[in-house]
Each structure stands twice: as C-alpha cells, then as structure tokens.
Amino acid sequence: MSPGVLSACGLPVRDATDQDPFAIGKEIEGRRLALAKWIADKKNPLSTRSFVNRIWQHHFGTGIVGTANNFGAKGDQPSHPELLDWLTKQFLANGGRSKPLHRLIVMSQAYRRSSRHPDTQLVRTVDPTGQLLASFRPRRLTAEELRDAILLVTGELNPEMGGVPIMPEINLEVALEPRMIQFSIAPAYQPSRTPQERNRRSIYAYRVRGQADPFMEVMNLPNPNESCEVRDVAAVSPQAFTLMNSDVMTDRSIAFAQRLQAQHSATAPQITNAFELAYGRRPRSQELKSLSDYVEDMVRYHRQHKPEATVYPTSVTRSLVEEFTGEAFTFDEILPVFEDYVPDTKSASVSAEVRALADLAMLLFNSNEFVYVY
C-alpha cells in the first residue's frame, strides 16, 4: 500500500520516479527525509507562507490569515494577500532566516502605530476588527515573554544560549505533590540548583508532562502536547492572584528592589529608575509623589512585621498501597538538589526598606503598562 502523495501544492517530491512525481517511495528508508525536503523546499508556497503568517500573528495577535492551522478552502482568506506574498518573498530572499523578518515587521509603520487613534469613532465604524491596522491593537505579553521581561527588569536574566534544559523554581507545594506514572509515583520536581541556571530564558525551561508550571499555566501557556493555532488570552482572577501573591513574584520583586537600592540611596531616584527600567519612561510628578508616600508607608509597615524564613525540605514522605496485598506503606523520597540549594533572596533576609521597594516593584509588574504591548 502506498504511503501517500504530497500533491497538494503541485510540488514534486525530490528523487521521485517519473511515473508518479508526487508519491513518496514505498521503502521505509528516506521517507521522512523526502517529507522534510518537500516541506522546506523554496518552491513550496504553503510552508513558507504559513511560517510568515505565524510570525505576523505573534506580533499583532492575529495573523494575515486568521486560521493559522488551515490555509485550505475551509480556512480564512488572507486580509492582505499581497502583503503576505511580499513578506514571504523577503523571508526567502534573506535565506529563510527569521530575525530579518522580525526586524522588518517591528520597524514597519503598522507595528509602530499608536494604540490610540485620533478618531476612535471612525475606527469603530470602518475597522471594528482591526484588520486594516489603522491603529495598533494592544496585546498581552505571552507567558514566556512576561517571565523573561520580569527577569530582565530585575537584572536576573541569564542570556546564555544553548545547552541543556533548565528547571525554574515553581510553587513548592505543586513541585512536591505526588504524581502517578506507570502505577508508581514520579520523582518530585526539583529546580536547578543556582539562580544563574534557573533564570535563563523560558525557551530553555524543561516542560514536565503532567506537571505544568503554575505561573506559566495561569498566564495561558499552551499545552505542549497539542497543536496551538492561536494562544488563549483569557483574563481570569487567578492571574491577578498569581501576579500579586505568588512566591515567584515576591522573589522577583525583592530582586528588583535590591537592584534599585544598589544604584540609588534616596526614594525619588529609586522610583525614577524603576519606571525607566519597567516602563521605558520617567514618572510623572503626581506618580512620583504618590509612590514616594506609598513607599514611606510600607517602610513603616514592614518595620513592624517580619516575614518568616523559607525552609526547603531535603526529603518528602510518600504513601502508597502494595499492588497485590493492598497493604499501605510509606517511604522517604530524597531531594538531593535542596541539600546544597542556592535560593533566591527571600523577604526574611532583607531590610524593611528593601521590602517596601519590593511592594513598589509588585505594583509596576501588575500594571497594564508592563503586562501589555501598546
């Protein structure tokens, strides 16, 4: 039985026979290579346009073709077909490299337009869906972008490229909860030992099947086991709770506060520096006054309230039932990474002034100006 044909685009398979130029050979050897060559062939108009459309969708929230997984008859028609063709030609002219394509898009007038059109009523009437790109439609940072942006602002981001996957620190309760796998218990999640390892970009984060990172999951990180046509951008209450109350955000806020305190000793310059790092602008006079008063209030509060120290366990007790006898038993799972673990700086180990600045950092991280691209 023939394994099938690749005639959808009218592009012959390399090294195919003259009798049927679109058929993949019956021999097992070389079939995957033939498929890969067909997909990556410069003459294939489908794969290159699909890739370019995905890049456009990443920057604008919506692709030129709205159905990124379906370029067929049942999919959406491109809103700007000539633009898609031109971008594809530019992509191929640059050797199929994505960086020049990203640069071309983000330097375009369409991308650099303000999200506030001078005639909002006209936009609502003529371009209610934003397809004509009269103004930039704000989009929320993806889960990976948000994590990496926070690490960059705090000064913790490790830009090292390549290498083995890393294990970011996640909620400790989730990390240690039992997970069943093949009628047994899977090993507990253990983060990478040092902050430098843990704070690499999210693209290098290891994904544990069946145990999602709570921070990334609540910010709509797609399921890696399924094809994702368009990312979910749902706004739900747990996102606000996570950004305000999670251990991850507390640690990042402490790190940001330490960075600000190391560069300036007075409150006003610290706030100004925080705005420059987080927003790319200086605070307005009213913002500076209000936040200065807020930091002073939080200093007084933290001088009266001391947080508890965080203790990392070196083992966890597991309970199981013997498969054949039904007898219950327990055992201790050793967590070797926590024996010489280098934790992030915690609230209990810093001064009241740093904790007050951390509260300021938390406010900035939770603002729409930080979380959204305008």
The DSSP call for residue 338 is G
How big is the chain, counted in residues?
Answer: 374
Query: What is residue 320's predicted lDDT score, i.e. its pLDDT?
Result: 82
- Contact yes or no for 55/20 (Cβ under 8 A): no
Residues pairing with 317 in the sheet: 332
User: Taking Cα atoms as reference points, which of 245, 236, 192, 195 lies closest to residue 217?
Assistant: 236
Query: What is residue 219's predicted lDDT score, i.e. its pLDDT?
Result: 92
Element (H, E) at 286: helix 285-304
Query: What is residue 282's predicted lDDT score, i.e. its pLDDT?
Result: 96
Output 64-70 pairs: Cβ under 8 A, ≥24 positions apart: 67/229, 68/229, 68/230, 69/227, 69/229, 70/229
Query: What is residue 319's predicted lDDT score, i.e. its pLDDT?
Result: 86
Residues pairing with 166 in the sheet: 205
DSSP per residue, 132-168: T-SSPPPEEPPHHHHHHHHHHHHT--B---SSS-B--
- Contact yes or no for 142/218 (Cβ under 8 A): no
Element (H, E) at 85: helix 81-93
Tell me the C-alpha distance between 52 and 25, whole Å. 30
Q: Are strands 315-321 and 328-334 parallel, antiparallel or unpaired?
A: antiparallel
Tell me the C-alpha distance between 81 and 73, whole Å. 15
Query: What is residue 342's predicted lDDT score, i.e. its pLDDT?
Result: 95
Tell me the C-alpha distance between 151 and 365, whole Å. 11
Beta strands in 2-129 (DSSP E): none
Left if phi > 0, otherwise alpha if psi is -120 to 50, otherwise beta: which for 242?
alpha
Query: What is residue 171's predicted lDDT score, i.e. its pLDDT?
Result: 92
Tell me the C-alpha distance between 21 and 39, whole Å. 15
Q: Are strands 139-140 and 372-373 parallel, antiparallel or unpaired?
A: antiparallel
Residue-level pLDDT, tens digit, the chain, 374 residues: 344 445 555 556 556 666 666 565 666 566 778 778 878 887 788 889 999 999 999 999 889 998 988 888 888 899 999 999 999 999 999 998 999 999 999 999 999 988 888 888 888 888 888 888 888 888 899 999 999 999 999 999 999 999 999 999 999 999 998 887 776 788 899 999 999 999 999 999 998 888 889 999 999 988 888 888 888 888 888 999 999 999 999 999 999 999 999 999 999 999 999 999 999 999 999 999 999 999 999 999 999 999 999 999 999 998 888 878 888 988 999 999 999 999 999 999 999 999 999 999 999 999 999 999 88
